[in-house]
Structure 1
Amino acid sequence: MHTNIDFQGLRVAVTGGTSGLGLALVRQLAVKGARVAFVARTAANVERVADETGAHGIVADVGKKDDIYPIAMQVTANLGGVDVLINNASSLGPVPLALLADTECEALEAALSVNLVGAFRLTKALFGALAASAREGCGALVINISSDAAVNAYSGWGAYGASKAALAHLTAIWDEEAKPAGIRLLALDPGDMDTPLHALALPDADPSTLKAPEHAAAEIIEKMLDALPIRAGLVAGRQA
């Protein structure tokens, strides 16, 4: 564990930051001193989390093309750049979950627009800022939140699973392509969590069998630190 690390000066953007894993990430990163910008669709929830954490809230929908560049501009303007992007926002597609033969095309498109295309667009929009961070020696990292549904054929999870499988493969390809720019890309599966999204998918699931989002967030942050160069400014007690 990186027990001697603080996050002063680390600039992190998180999508889907007002509930579940995203909220846990925003809270933990902000408490540790990171400069955080987060994105979510509901203005009241964004205001509430911003007031609670001191992070910069952005009201937008990553599934909408026209929202992407305004998101990127607000992230870089308020953080002064970006070192880490966490593409966490997710859509199940059909609710309740449906077999593929019963899934409307629009529901599949909804899952793809958020889970795959939205993550792609925002990463692309912030790619220059991430590359600048890498050139400055700060490290640059994109974490795409995946799922075991990306590799396991769960009945009823077709839209979600297909979108997450595509995201995982896109991440692997882009990680290879981005090496010359010094940018890392990781697809991470946080496991089955007790979140509103999981409850929406499986309302009868026993919460006691699910991972707490706070635990999953701590694991994601640990892997984030492993993937970043440990800078003097991130080590407690040292001067950058």
Structure 2
Amino acid sequence: MMKGRRFRYLAQGILIVGLLALYWVYIEKADSLPKDEEILAQINAGLSDAEAVEIQDLLKLDAGHGVAPFLTAGGEYGVSYWERHLTGWKVIHVRTDGEPRIWMLDPGDPSSFHITWNMNPDRDIETLQYYYIRERGYSSSGPEEHYVPGIQMKVEASIKGKSYGAMKIPDDWGQALTLSDGSEPPGNSIWENFNPGIHSTFGWIPLDKEGNEVKWENRDSSSYTVGNVRDQHMQMLDQYHVEQGLY
């Protein structure tokens, strides 16, 4: 009887130790952020011509997603997207250009959308203006008529002293994105397959310290993606056309 009890206690003790070890190996490892060397290794393994040489930071967006801006051997400023898995953080997207884009963590939830960027400070940019714009319009189908009111929203981010960043889109942007613009098929939600709509635009304008627009030229870049990453383009705008309502 005593031997049987001792055996049960021993078995329970071994089970508890095993569970604690499993927790340490998997859960704790997954929760801890990767070191710069590991981030560099994953970026360069995923995109061989990235030639990443320096990790600037790792910005956690939520419990399971992060952004790691980096520098390349050629002097470019890149961005990588990271996702937490059971065995640790894994890179899921790399791009060697740092132009502003919107990472839709959950395409069905606009509150999860983040603007990400990493701008070369040699271009004299100090402020980034971000826009969500929806043109006004009108459509009809038989007896049904649909009026689309115009929307223009702006938010700014300073890059003085820091070339990179990640910004959750404002709440009013998220609310505006849930409004129909009349371009989706009847009975379907625009979030079933995300599309900002034929009337909608995400855009940006780079400004110098005087508030003047900085001329921007696109450069050759490369990218790598694994899995279903929704990375939304932001259109280059200019102040004159924004003020005139010409998008």
Pairwise TM-score range, normalised by the shorter structure: under 0.3
Q: Which has the higher contact order (CA 8 A, sep 6+)?
A: 1
Larger helix percent = 1
Larger strand percent = 2
